[in-house]
Structure 1
């Protein structure tokens, strides 16, 4: 089975506290509640988005090509908490980058770590990937902690262009290979 078929097969994933599922346009209001906050998630949404901007982002970045992108939903109350995704999937090299964000209101409750550990397991066991990377802004300590709690190791710091404002920023690269992975 190729990676795209496997991603389709695992479009709905259940963990202890979460449901990882495809986004739908019905998520528009909850997505806007996350992206339009006065204090948005600075590394994902550098400024609060309007409803129109939020809808555009939801459609073009999360709905248009849904394979490898999951909404993170609280299983108990069906609240949208954030997103986790495989980006820059390279089937030939069997590698991908992982990106995620969690609503600021529920930071520190382990949701991102739970979603990331689940995705890592599937990436190595079902999607047949052999390497995953996470790139964080150098000052995004919370995301770095999530990566490390999930078993990623810090590899290096580098400079690059910010995807939103094109300014040169410092980033940290974390990596996990299938050989590094251990199932708890």
Structure 2
């Protein structure tokens, strides 16, 4: 099996408190609630000005190519509270970059660490990946904490162009390499 077959097999999976699934168009309102709050996405993409803009983003960036893209849902409330996705997958090198976000009222509860840890385990044990990376803005301390708590190590600091503003920014790259992870 290749990685795409495995990602299809794991299009739904659970952690202790959450379940992950593909996005549905019915997530539009919950997605807009997240995307309309600049605090939720300050390091991800620009704030969404309308439900229609959020629907466009949801359909084109989260639903169009669903493998390796998950809606994060709270098992208790059944609400979609965030997303995690492979930003880049290199099938030859067997590596991927992970990107994620959560709704602000669910921050500081360990949800994202739980999801990143589970996705890392699946990546190494099921998807055949050998290296995962998380890139954070230098000022995004919460995401850095998630990376470290999920078993990633700081690899480097670098300058790069922000994909939306095109301004030069400082970034940190965290890595988790198979064999270094507590499997």
Q: Which runs of 5 or more structure 1 residues have no equivalent in the other structure? A: none
Alignment-derived partner of residue 69 in structure 1: 69
Q: What is the RMSD of the two structures over their aligned residues, measured on CA atoms?
A: 1.1
> Matched residues in 1 for 2:57 and 2:9: separation?
25
In the TM superposition, 1:162-173 aligns within 5 A as 162-173=162-173
The answer on 1:85 being equivalent to 2:124 is no
Q: Which runs of 5 or more structure 2 residues have no equivalent in the other structure? A: none
The answer on 1:21 being equivalent to 2:25 is no
Residue 85 and residue 39 in structure 1: after superposition, are their counterparts in 2 closer, same or farther (change >3 A)? closer
Is the CA contact (8 Å cut-off) linking 2:27 and 2:80 kept in structure 1? yes
What is the TM-score normalised by the length of structure 2? 0.97
Cα deviation code 1:20-41 (max 9, x no counterpart)? 1000100000000000126442
Deviation at 1:48, TM superposition (A): 4.4
Alignment-derived partner of residue 160 in structure 1: 160
Q: How many residues align?
A: 183
What is the TM-score normalised by the length of structure 1? 0.96
Alignment-derived partner of residue 54 in structure 1: 54
Alignment-derived partner of residue 151 in structure 1: 151
Alignment-derived partner of residue 31 in structure 2: 31
Is the CA contact (8 Å cut-off) linking 2:40 and 2:102 kept in structure 1? no
Is the CA contact (8 Å cut-off) linking 1:41 and 1:104 kept in structure 2? no
